[in-house]
Amino acid sequence: MEETKKEIDLLGKLYNLYSEVLETFSKWNEIPWTEVNDQLQGMIDQIETYSMSCTRLDKSLKKWSAYDELRQKIEKYQNILPLVRELAKTSVRPRHWDELISKTSKQIPYKLETFTLGILLSEIEVDKYHEDIEEIGESADKQLKIENQLAEITRFWAEA
């Protein structure tokens, strides 16, 4: 009887963490894309907290499929959020989104005011396009640097 009570208590902890993680992911999916960049660091910190909480769960829970599912969901977001950061950079312009659309053959409605993180994640498997997204982010940063340098040169010559 005591062993059953202990197992029920442990499963309650797993259930509570699983529920909290799913609720958080659901809230994140509703974040308007224009606000993602401001909230991203908090999201990354939260996913790391969830990862540590999952790891600290009792070893006996690791045999449950719910534990494996939770672990996979957390790991997926650990992989996705750095890629979301690449796409949320201020250097990313419509041409970069168009490049991503071309590479993924998916329609990403990035121009819509109703575009959210959840819409992005439902349109493409972000982690599947890891290299493309990193390349687009790096390219966007380099292009922004060139644009800024050109603007500085133009200002210099306009004042001369």
The answer to whether the CB of 21 falls within 8 A of the CB of 50 is yes
Return mean pLDDT, the chain. 92
CA atoms within 13 A on the CB side of 13: 16
Summarised one tens digit per residue, pLDDT across range 103-132 is: 999 999 999 999 999 999 998 888 899 999
The answer to whether the CB of 51 falls within 8 A of the CB of 78 is yes
Summarised one tens digit per residue, pLDDT across range 36-66 is: 999 999 999 999 999 999 999 999 888 999 9
